[in-house]
Amino acid sequence: MSKIEVHEGDLAARPGRPQSLTAEQAGNSTVVIGLELLKAIARMGRPVALSEIARTMNMSASRTHRYLSSLCQAGFVRKVSDTGRYDIGLATFELGRAAISRIDSMKAARHIMEDLTRDTGLVSYLCVWGSNGPTVIRNEMGDVQTAVRVREGSNLSMLTATGQIFLAHMPENETLSILLRDVEEWNAMSGVEAVTPAQVLKSAMRAKATMLARSTGMRNPTWTAFSSPVFDDGNFVMALTLIGVSKLFDTRMNGAVATRLQSVALRMSATSMGT
């Protein structure tokens, strides 16, 4: 391997700097680095210490701190007062919600989900892939009188019906690390026979063939969820899920609820393609 010489005054001699920048890259580097730093914090999925952020970004602590201070002032990052760690701020959520609200398929989804919840008596929600796994971007509670609550912005396990849909339709290199994490967490807290990643992937492959996944007892032992994929121009974009108390609705894979969910997901896919 050839040795790279760094001379005094070179940009590469300063921690975190690329070895060379074009004029265009130099003009945009501050914005780009700030956005990459924000994405790095989001991917970590928890409040993070300055030293860990700096190490992840391959930057000095002092330089990382300057970027974090600017992002905090803008509201995209917040400093957790009791620990001094950094986490994503409210401005990030506001920006994400605004972006989602401008997607035509999301506008149509509101009315479709209202009808689905009213007709089935179940809670419905939409998930997209986020830095920490499947992320709820919209829920519809309707007038359903149930203890089931799914918050927008919450992350779901890859072992759930929703998670299986993402495993079925996304590249393994994007989902595997989240799957391994969720399997480890589930086995540590469940107190039942251990689940393996291979078992979850096998269920996901069945879900891909049938366009439907089912899970029972993941968030609560009395709940059952069904999930189905939604596509945009042939590309998988999100999962539509129904969840409710198991004894109060038809939980068969070929039952009325499962069939209705599949048809609604297909309708949403057609809507997103403008057909």
Which pLDDT score, from 0 to 100, does residue 250 have?
93
Q: What is the pLDDT of residue 255?
A: 95
Sequence-distant (6+) residues with CB within 8 A of 113 are 124, 125, 126, 138, 140, 240
User: Can you list the residues of the chain whose pLDDT is less than 70?
Assistant: 1-28, 94, 97-108, 142-147, 191-193, 219, 271-275
Closest by alpha carbon to 218, among 139, 272, 164?
Answer: 164
Domain residues for the domain of 234 are: 103-272
Q: Using alpha carbons, list the distances in angstroms from residue 164 to 174, 192, 211, 239.
A: 14, 20, 10, 10
**One domain for residues 52 and 145:** no
Q: For residue 200, give the amino acid letter.
A: V
Question: Is 95 domain-assigned?
Answer: no
Structurally, how many domains does the chain consist of?
A: 2
Q: Would you state the pLDDT for residue 190?
A: 73
Question: Is residue 112 located within the same domain as residue 231?
Answer: yes
Residue 111, CA distances (Å) to 105, 116, 251 in order: 11, 9, 24
Considering the domain architecture, whether residues 57 and 187 belong to the same structural domain is answered as no
- Dihedral, CA of residue 87, residue 183, residue 178 and residue 71, to nearest 10: 0
pLDDT in tens, 139-160: 888 666 566 777 877 889 999 9
Is residue 73 located within the same domain as residue 170?
Answer: no
Residues 156 and 267 in one domain: yes
Q: Please indicate, yes or no, whether residues 135 and 240 belong to a single structural domain of this protein.
A: yes
Q: What angle do CA 86, 90, 95 make, to 5 degrees?
A: 120
- Please indicate, yes or no, whether residues 108 and 37 belong to a single structural domain of this protein: no
Please give the pLDDT value at position 234. 85
List the CATH number of the domain containing 121: 3.30.450.40
